């Protein structure tokens, strides 16, 4: 009985894991959470785009086991064309190569991986070539057991043969099967446009939900206006196949300069709907920058937030109704110790430790736990994920 159960369990696990790689991708032997594919030949400038086009991004190699898996694959495979092989043979006796997601930034003089991780010890950097290839993100090609950023092993001889920038190789792309508890996602307003390919890449990198701004006030201009770019992001996210999409309203709540709560919600939802945008929930962004609230009138602010919430709830096509985006500091400055919205979900912003979890949450406003945490704000990124800068969010 024991053996029988074990066998069934293993078979189910294998079947489950296998089916999670997208079509055309292969599950990694050394890391079953990752699937890879190699695109047809591209130059280093468009290698990342080639991966985005297939719903993935350039490969981050996390350890020596992964490294060896790819080296073996490259040495034994036929993933580059005969023509390229000939081309590559000219530069190093027998080389088969792909671009990977390791890149050099000349302004910081640092290398980093496409997935933002810090596991750079498995790329051997050839500094003589790094200097030459100083423009923008750089990628590496495999050579023996190492990865280099040029088409020759420079060693003591820095003269390169041929035109590096025109060298065409396969792009080694990765898709990650989400295994961590909870779900990662992101949010942004009009400052960051995200196209369909970028959303596909984000999804391939494990960022499964999106929250887009549909109304902006405060620093963006009083009395506020709908956010066309934010609405476009919401539509692009849907087109890219994301299923979990919300919106947020950054309201204007000051007494004389702002539109009524009813109008702000009506116009925000009106413009979203007119553009064909569909969202599950609308979050009310309660925060302090700009001159959007009168801090001397907490009672008035409470009423304004209640009006925004009840107007959002009155739109039956917003199926999950309203939620509140804030933190203890913003909330207390604007509404004091009010607990009047604690029955709504809380989208908690605290990016101090930059990890996807709810640790460090101290109850406020009547909330005992958040529903979503904004754990990294866009300005903190050491580099862009999928050429996108947005705030990183997490939920259980």
Ligand X SMILES: *[C@@H]1O[C@H](CO)[C@@H](O)[C@H](O)[C@H]1NC(C)=O
Among 163, 359, 368, 379, binds ligand X (CB under 6 A): 359
**Residue 276 is a binding residue for ligand X (CB under 6 A):** no
What is the full DSSP assignment across 309-376?
A: HHHHHT-TTSTT-EEEEE-HHHHHHHHTT--TTTTS-EEEE--SS--SS-TT---BTTBSS-SEEEEE
**Could you give the string, one character per residue 190-229, with x where binding to ligand X holds by CB under 6 A and - elsewhere?**
-----------------------------------xx---
**Residue 121 is a binding residue for ligand X (CB under 6 A):** no
Confirm if 257 and 221 have CB atoms less than 8 A apart.
Answer: no
> Which of 192, 206, 247, 229 lies closest to 387 in space, CA to CA?
192
**Could you give the string, one character per residue 291-320, with x where binding to ligand X holds by CB under 6 A and - elsewhere?**
----------------x--xx--x------
**Residue 255 is a binding residue for ligand X (CB under 6 A):** no
| Distances 264 to 124, 250, 310 between C-alpha atoms, Å | 54, 10, 12
| 76 vs 118 by CB, closer to ligand X | 118
Among 118, 256, 296, 317, binds ligand X (CB under 6 A): 118
Among 271, 326, 341, 349, binds ligand X (CB under 6 A): 271
Among positions 153-182, residues that touch ligand X (CB under 6 A) are 157, 159, 161
Stretch that binds ligand X, among 140-148, 179-187, 259-267, 332-340 (CB under 6 A): 259-267
The CA distance from 211 to 328, in Å, is 21
| 40 vs 260 by CB, closer to ligand X | 260
Among 23, 76, 82, 107, binds ligand X (CB under 6 A): 107
| 70 vs 226 by CB, closer to ligand X | 226
**Residue 260 is a binding residue for ligand X (CB under 6 A):** yes
Strands 346-349 and 372-376, bridge-based pairing:
parallel
Q: How far is the CB of 351 from ligand X (least distance, A)?
A: 8
**Residue 109 is a binding residue for ligand X (CB under 6 A):** no
Confirm if 230 and 189 have CB atoms less than 8 A apart.
Answer: yes
Query: Could you tell me the sign of the dihedral formed by the alpha carbons of 171, 62, 88, 154, in that order?
Result: positive
Token output for 281: 């929930």
**Residue 111 is a binding residue for ligand X (CB under 6 A):** no
| 244 vs 357 by CB, closer to ligand X | 357
Among 49, 125, 168, 267, binds ligand X (CB under 6 A): 267
Confirm if 324 and 347 have CB atoms less than 8 A apart.
Answer: yes
Among 32, 182, 270, 321, binds ligand X (CB under 6 A): 270
Q: What are phi and psi of 346, to 5 degrees?
A: -105, 125
Q: b/e per residue, 327-348, with b = 16+ CB within 10 A? A: beebbebbbeebeebeebbbbb
Among 262, 289, 319, 380, binds ligand X (CB under 6 A): 262
**Could you give the string, one character per residue 376-395, with x where binding to ligand X holds by CB under 6 A and - elsewhere?**
-------x------------
Residue 229's H or E segment, with its range, is helix 228-239
Q: How far is the CB of 125 from ligand X (least distance, A)?
A: 15
The CA distance from 173 to 100, in Å, is 7
How many CA atoms lie within 13 Å of 57's alpha carbon, on the beta-carbon side? 25
Q: How far is the CB of 1 from ligand X (least distance, A)?
A: 46
Q: How far is the CB of 276 from ligand X (least distance, A)?
A: 12
Q: How many CB atoms lie within 10 A of CB 120?
A: 14
Binding site for ligand X (CB under 6 A): 105, 107-108, 118, 136-137, 157, 159, 161, 225-226, 260-262, 267, 270-271, 274, 307, 310-311, 314, 327-328, 350, 352-353, 359-360, 362, 383
């Amino acid at each position: 009985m024991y053996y029988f159960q074990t066998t069934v369990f293993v078979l189910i696990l294998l079947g489950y894991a296998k089916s999670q790689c997208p079509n055309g991708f292969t599950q990694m032997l050394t890391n079953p959470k990752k699937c890879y594919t190699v695109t047809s030949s591209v130059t280093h400038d468009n290698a990342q785009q080639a991966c985005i086009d297939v719903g993935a991004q350039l490969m981050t190699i996390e350890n020596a086991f992964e490294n060896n898996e790819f080296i073996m694959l490259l040495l034994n495979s036929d993933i580059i064309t005969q023509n390229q092989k000939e081309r590559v043979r000219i530069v190093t006796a027998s080389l088969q190569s792909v671009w990977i997601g390791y890149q050099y930034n000349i302004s910081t003089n640092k290398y980093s991986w496409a997935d933002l991780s810090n596991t750079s010890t498995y790329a051997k950097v050839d500094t003589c070539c790094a200097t030459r290839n100083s423009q923008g993100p750089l990628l590496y090609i495999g050579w023996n057991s190492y990865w280099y950023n040029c088409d020759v092993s420079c060693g003591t001889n820095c003269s390169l043969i041929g035109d590096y920038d025109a060298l065409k190789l396969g792009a080694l792309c990765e898709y990650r099967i989400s295994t961590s508890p909870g779900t990662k996602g992101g949010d942004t307003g009009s400052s960051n446009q995200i196209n369909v390919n970028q959303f596909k890449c984000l999804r391939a990198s494990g960022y499964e939900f999106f929250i887009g701004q549909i109304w902006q006030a405060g620093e963006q201009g009083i009395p506020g206006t709908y956010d066309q770019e934010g609405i476009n992001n919401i539509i692009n996210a849907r087109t890219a196949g994301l299923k979990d999409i919300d919106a947020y309203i950054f309201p204007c709540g000051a007494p004389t300069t702002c539109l009524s709560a009813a109008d702000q919600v009506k116009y925000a939802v009106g413009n979203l709907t007119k553009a064909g945008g569909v969202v599950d929930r609308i979050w009310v962004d309660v925060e302090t920058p700009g001159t959007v609230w009168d801090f001397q009138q907490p009672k008035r602010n409470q009423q304004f937030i209640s009006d925004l919430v009840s107007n959002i709830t009155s739109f039956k096509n917003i199926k999950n109704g309203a939620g509140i985006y804030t933190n203890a500091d913003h909330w207390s400055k604007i509404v004091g110790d009010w607990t009047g919205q604690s029955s709504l979900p809380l989208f908690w912003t605290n990016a101090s430790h930059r990890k996807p979890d709810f640790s460090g949450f101290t109850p406020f406003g009547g909330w005992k736990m958040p529903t979503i945490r904004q754990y990294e704000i866009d300005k903190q990124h050491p580099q862009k994920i999928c050429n996108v800068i947005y705030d990183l969010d997490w939920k259980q």
